[in-house]
C-alpha cells in the first residue's frame, strides 16, 4: 500500500455547506488537501478543490463515433461487398435501413467505452482494495483528508485550522 | 442555498419523516442486513414454484419443437410476440424514470429509480425468452441473429429487416440499462460494505462495490458519466419501442401497416411500465416499511404519467379507426371492423375498457392518491396492455387475404406455461434484488436532504 506509514489528519464534517466553505478556507491558508470523501456527490466541490473538468464527454463522443463508423462499415461490407443480395429490389447498401443499427451501435459502444474508461481511470475494479479513512464517509459524514507529510505546517496548526473551519471532529489516522 | 423549509412552503418534501443521512442508510440497509423475513421466503418460494412449472413448458418447447404452441399457418405469431412486446413495454419505465426524468431534473424520481431500473432489466430478460425460444433450434440461434462469420457461404444476417434491428435495439437497451443501474448501485454497495459485519457479506459487497471510496474526484467523474448515460439513454429508450413497432409497421398486413405505430407504441410502453412499477412498489413499500420514502406524492406523480400516456394511447386507437375509414382501403377497413366486431370483439373491448376508460378515473384526486385504487388500476392497465398487443397481433393475422385460410388462435398449455415461466423468472429476480440489493438509491437521496446546520 502506498500509504504505508503515512500520517493523515481527518476533518469530519456533518454538512456540505460547512465543508464547501472549509475547503476554500483551508486551501487559502496554503494547506494541501489530500482528498475529500463523501457519501453523495457534492456540487461545486470539484471547483473548490481545483480539480480540472473531466474529459469523459470527449471519451464518450470518441467511442460513440467509433461505434457509428464500425456499424456503417460492417453493414456496408457484409451486404454490399462480401455477399451482395437482392432484397426486395433495394440498393445493396440501403442507407436508410442501416440507420437503426448504426444508432444502436453508436450508443452501445459510446456508453460501454465511456464507463470502462471511467472505471479504469478511477481504479474501480471488483478486486479493488479501497483505502477507507473513516467508514462513516459512505454513511453520513463528509471526510476531508490532509496528508501531513505533504504539508509544511505542523499537525497542531492544521488541526486547529480544521476545527475552526467547522469540523465536528478531527482525527489522526496512520496506516500500519 | 435552498433549505428544506423553503422547499416545503412551495411543495411537499420528497421524503417524509425528517430523515437524517444516517436514517436513510439504516432504513435501506436494514433489509439487506437482516435475516430473510417470512413474507419474503413465502414470496420467493411461490415465484420459484411458478418458475419450475413454467420451466416444464419451456423444456417441452425446446425438446419437441415450437409445434407445442398453438400457432398455425395463419396465425404465425400470437402469445409469444404478445408476451414479448408486453414485457418489453414494461421494461420502458425504468430507464425513462432514471434517464428522462434525470434530464428534466425531476427529483421525485430518486426514491423509485433503483427499483424501476431493476424491473426494467428483469422485464427485458423475460421478454427475450420469447423470440429466443421461438427460433426453435436455439443452439443455432446466434447465427441467425448476430453477424457472425459462418460456413453458410458467408451469408450474413439481413440488415434490412426490422427483426434484425430489434435484436440490436434490445441487446443495446439491455446492456446500457444494466450499465446505468449498476453504476448507480456502486456507491450504495460501498455503504453496505462499510457496515457489513460478517466476512461473507464483506467479501461480496466489496467485490460488488468495485473498491468505491467516495473520493470527490471520482464523484465528479461519476456525475459526468451519469449525465452522459442519461443523455444517450433518452433517445435509446424511445428508439427501442419504435423499433419494436417497426416489426409490425414495416409489413404490409392491414392493421399493422400504420405510420402512427412508433409514437403510439412508445406511449403504450411507458403507460404499462409505470403501471408495473406501481404494482411492484406498492407492495415493496409496504413489506419493507418504506412509506416515508415512496410517498403518496410519488404515487400521484406516477398516476399522472399514467393518465397522460393512457390518453395518448386512447387517441392512437381512435386515430387508427379514423385512418382505416378515411384511407378508403377495403382490407384496412375490414381489419378494423373485424377487430372490433369480429370473433375477437371481447379482446378489443377488454383493451378499450382497461386502457382507455379505467385510467381516466385518475383524474379524480381521491382515486389518484388512494393506494388500493392505484394498485387495482395498475393491474387493470397491465391486463389492458396485454390485450392491446394480442388484439394488434392476432386480429390482424387470423383473417388474412384468403378467406379459405382464415383461422382462430387457441393457446395450448405450453403457451400458457411459457408465459408463467417468464412471470416466475421476473418475480424471482425481483425478490432476490429486493433482498440483497439496496432498493432505494441512498446516495442520490442523501443529496436532496441538504439542510443547513443551524
Could you tell me what percent of chain A has a pLDDT over 90? 26
Instruction: Report the residue of chain A nearest B25, measured CA to CA.
Output: A139
Task: Considering only the beta carbons, identify the residue of B176, B210, B216 that sits closest to A108.
Answer: B176
Which whole-number Å values give the CA distances from A100 to B125, B159, B362, in the listed order?
21, 9, 36
Residues of A in contact with B143 (CB under 8 A): none
The residue with greater pLDDT, B392 or B94, is B392
How many other CB atoms sit within 10 Å of the CB of residue B81?
21
DSSP string covering B99-113: IIHHHTT-GGGGGTH
CA dihedral B135, B141, B144, B150 (to 10 degrees): -150
Residues of B in contact with A85 (CB under 8 A): 158
Residues of B in contact with A127 (CB under 8 A): 207, 211
Instruction: Report the residue of chain B nearest A132, measured CA to CA.
Output: B213
Which whole-number Å values give the CA distances from B306 to B87, B267, B358, in the listed order?
17, 10, 11
Q: How many Å apart are CA B70 and CA B64, to the nearest integer?
A: 13
Q: Domain boundaries in chain A?
A: 7-53+134-174, 56-121
Instruction: Report the residue of chain A nearest B186, measured CA to CA.
Output: A124
Residue pairs between chains A and B whose CB atoms are closer than 8 Å: 197
Residues of A in contact with B210 (CB under 8 A): 119, 124-126, 128
pLDDT category at B4 given cuts 50, 70, 90 is very low
- pLDDT value at position B102? 83
User: Does the pLDDT value for residue B452 go beyond 60?
Assistant: no
- E strands of A19-161, at which residues? 35-37, 142-147
Largest CA distance in chain A: 83
Which whole-number Å values give the CA distances from A33 to A20, B211, B229, in the listed order?
13, 21, 31
pLDDT category at A68 given cuts 50, 70, 90 is very high
Among B365, B453, B367, B445, which Cα is nearest to B17's? B445
Q: How many Å apart are CA B212 and CA A130, to the nearest integer?
A: 6
Task: Considering only the beta carbons, identify the residue of B194, B216, B246 that sits closest to A35.
Answer: B216
Can you list the domains of chain B with their CATH numbers? 11-447 (1.20.1630.10)
Q: pLDDT tens digit string along B297-325?
A: 889 989 999 999 999 999 999 999 999 99
A7-53+134-174: CATH topology is Alpha-Beta Plaits (3.30.70)
- pLDDT value at position B346? 94
Return mean pLDDT, chain B: 88
**Range with the poorest average pLDDT among A143-147, B174-178, B331-335, B356-360:** A143-147
Q: How many Å apart are CA B395 and CA A76, to the nearest integer?
A: 37
Residues 106-165, chain B: which have Cβ within 8 Å of A? 147, 153-160, 162, 164-165
Q: Is A88 left (phi over 0), alpha (psi -120 to 50) or beta?
A: left
Do residues A109 and A70 lie in contact, with contact meaning Cβ atoms separated by under 8 Å?
Answer: yes
Residues of A in contact with B228 (CB under 8 A): 56-57, 60, 111, 114
Which whole-number Å values give the CA distances from A18 to A144, B24, B219, B264, in the listed order?
11, 21, 18, 50
Do residues B282 and B299 lie in contact, with contact meaning Cβ atoms separated by under 8 Å?
Answer: yes
Q: How many Å apart are CA B297 and CA B286, to the nearest integer?
A: 15
Q: How many Å apart are CA A70 and CA A65, to the nearest integer?
A: 9
Amino acid at each position: 500500500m502506498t500509504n504505508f506509514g503515512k500520517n493523515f489528519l481527518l476533518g469530519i464534517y456533518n454538512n456540505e455547506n460547512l465543508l464547501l466553505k472549509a475547503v476554500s478556507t483551508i486551501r487559502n491558508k496554503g494547506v494541501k488537501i489530500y482528498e475529500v470523501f463523501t457519501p453523495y456527490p457534492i456540487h461545486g466541490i470539484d471547483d473548490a478543490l481545483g480539480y480540472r473538468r473531466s474529459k469523459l464527454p470527449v471519451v464518450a463522443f470518441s467511442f460513440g463515433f467509433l461505434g457509428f463508423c464500425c456499424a456503417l462499415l460492417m453493414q456496408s461490407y457484409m451486404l454490399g461487398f462480401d455477399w451482395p443480395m437482392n432484397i426486395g429490389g433495394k440498393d445493396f447498401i440501403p442507407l436508410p435501413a442501416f440507420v437503426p443499427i448504426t444508432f444502436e451501435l453508436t450508443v452501445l459502444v459510446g456508453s460501454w467505452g465511456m464507463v470502462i474508461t471511467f472505471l479504469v481511470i478511477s481504479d474501480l475494479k471488483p478486486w479493488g482494495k479501497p483505502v477507507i479513512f473513516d467508514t462513516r464517509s459512505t454513511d453520513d459524514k463528509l471526510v476531508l483528508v490532509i496528508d501531513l507529510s505533504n504539508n509544511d505546517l505542523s499537525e497542531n496548526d492544521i488541526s486547529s485550522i480544521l476545527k475552526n473551519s467547522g469540523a465536528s471532529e478531527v482525527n489522526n489516522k496512520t496506516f500500519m | 442555498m435552498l433549505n428544506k423549509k423553503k422547499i416545503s412552503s412551495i411543495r411537499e418534501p420528497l421524503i417524509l419523516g425528517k430523515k437524517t443521512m444516517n436514517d436513510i442508510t439504516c432504513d435501506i440497509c436494514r433489509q439487506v442486513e437482516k435475516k430473510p423475513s417470512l413474507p419474503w421466503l413465502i414470496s420467493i418460494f411461490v415465484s420459484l414454484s411458478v418458475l419450475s412449472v413454467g420451466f416444464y413448458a419451456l423444456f417441452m418447447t425446446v425438446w419437441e419443437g415450437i409445434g407445442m404452441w398453438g400457432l398455425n399457418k395463419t396465425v404465425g405469431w400470437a402469445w409469444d410476440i404478445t408476451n414479448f412486446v408486453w414485457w418489453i413495454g414494461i421494461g420502458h419505465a425504468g430507464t425513462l424514470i432514471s434517464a428522462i426524468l434525470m434530464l428534466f431534473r425531476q427529483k421525485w424520481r430518486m426514491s423509485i429509480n433503483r427499483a424501476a431500473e431493476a424491473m426494467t432489466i428483469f422485464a427485458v430478460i423475460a421478454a427475450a425468452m420469447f423470440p429466443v425460444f421461438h427460433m426453435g433450434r436455439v443452439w443455432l440461434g446466434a447465427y441467425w441473429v448476430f453477424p457472425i462469420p459462418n460456413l453458410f457461404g458467408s451469408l450474413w444476417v439481413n440488415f434490412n429487416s426490422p427483426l434484425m434491428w430489434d435484436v440490436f435495439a434490445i441487446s443495446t437497451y439491455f446492456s446500457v440499462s444494466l450499465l446505468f443501474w449498476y453504476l448507480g448501485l456502486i456507491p450504495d454497495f460501498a455503504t453496505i460494505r462499510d457496515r457489513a459485519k460478517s466476512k461473507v457479506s464483506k467479501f461480496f459487497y466489496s467485490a460488488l462495490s468495485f473498491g468505491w471510496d467516495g473520493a470527490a474526484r471520482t464523484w465528479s467523474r461519476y456525475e459526468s458519466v451519469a449525465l452522459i448515460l442519461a443523455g444517450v439513454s433518452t433517445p435509446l429508450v424511445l428508439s427501442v419501442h419504435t423499433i419494436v413497432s417497426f416489426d409490425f409497421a414495416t409489413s404490409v398486413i392491414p392493421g399493422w401497416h400504420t405510420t402512427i405505430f412508433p409514437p403510439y407504441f412508445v406511449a403504450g410502453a411507458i403507460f404499462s411500465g409505470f403501471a408495473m412499477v406501481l404494482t411492484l412498489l406498492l407492495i415493496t413499500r409496504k413489506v419493507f416499511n418504506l412509506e416515508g420514502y415512496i410517498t403518496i406524492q410519488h404515487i400521484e406523480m406516477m398516476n399522472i404519467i399514467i393518465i397522460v400516456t393512457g390518453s395518448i394511447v386512447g387517441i392512437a386507437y381512435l386515430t387508427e379507426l379514423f385512418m382505416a375509414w378515411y384511407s378508403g382501403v377495403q382490407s384496412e377497413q375490414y381489419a378494423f371492423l373485424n377487430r372490433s366486431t369480429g370473433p375477437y370483439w371481447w379482446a378489443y373491448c377488454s383493451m378499450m375498457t382497461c386502457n382507455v376508460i379505467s385510467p381516466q378515473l385518475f383524474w379524480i384526486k381521491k382515486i389518484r392518491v388512494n393506494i388500493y385504487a392505484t394498485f387495482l388500476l395498475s393491474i387493470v392497465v397491465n391486463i389492458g396492455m396485454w390485450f392491446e398487443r394480442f388484439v394488434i397481433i392476432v386480429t390482424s393475422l387470423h383473417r388474412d387475404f384468403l378467406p379459405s385460410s382464415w383461422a382462430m388462435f387457441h393457446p395450448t398449455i405450453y403457451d400458457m406455461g411459457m408465459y408463467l415461466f417468464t412471470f416466475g423468472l421476473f418475480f424471482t429476480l425481483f425478490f432476490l434484488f429486493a433482498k440483497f440489493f439496496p432498493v432505494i438509491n441512498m446516495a442520490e437521496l442523501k443529496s436532496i436532504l441538504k439542510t443547513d446546520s443551524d
